[in-house]
């Protein structure tokens, strides 16, 4: 194939969105706990408040992940979980924050 033909083919592939990417394997993270407005951070990235994460869940890629939950006036909590490609059951984490005594 000529360079012009190869360039035209590449342009067509890119215009169509490129080749299909393989489907990513993820594990569902399901959470419970309180307070509902606590911030949930996974691997140092804010994913939402606890009530939103409880309602929607989070898809975790394979590997170890640090889940942090914190809210003003409460002791924060950290949990390490491992998502495995071979495990199709959801990972469940309960995060009931304890109020800081005054």
- What is the residue-wise DSSP string for 49-92? EHHHHHHH-EEEPSEEEEEEEE-TTB--EEEEEEE-TT--SPEE
Q: In the sheet where 58-60 sits, what is the strand order?
A: 58-60, 27-34, 91-96
pTM, rounded to two decimals? 0.74
Question: What domains, with CATH codes, occur in the chain?
Answer: 23-96 (2.60.40.1120)
Between these two residues, 71 and 87, which has the higher pLDDT value? 71
Least confident of 42-56, 58-72, 79-93: 79-93
pLDDT at residue 23 in the model? 62
Q: Output the pLDDT for position 102.
A: 86
Give the pairing type, strands 27-34 and 91-96: parallel
pLDDT of residue 88: 82
């Amino acid at each position: 194939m000529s360079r012009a033909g190869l360039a035209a083919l590449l342009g067509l592939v890119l215009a169509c969105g490129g080749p299909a990417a393989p489907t990513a394997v993820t594990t569902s993270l399901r959470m419970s706990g309180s307070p509902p407005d606590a911030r949930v951070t996974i691997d140092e990235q804010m994913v939402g408040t606890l009530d939103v994460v409880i309602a929607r869940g989070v898809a975790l890629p394979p590997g170890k992940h640090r889940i942090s939950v914190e809210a003003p006036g409460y002791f924060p909590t950290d949990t390490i979980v491992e998502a495995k490609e071979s495990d199709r059951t959801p990972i469940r984490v309960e995060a009931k924050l304890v109020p800081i005594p005054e």
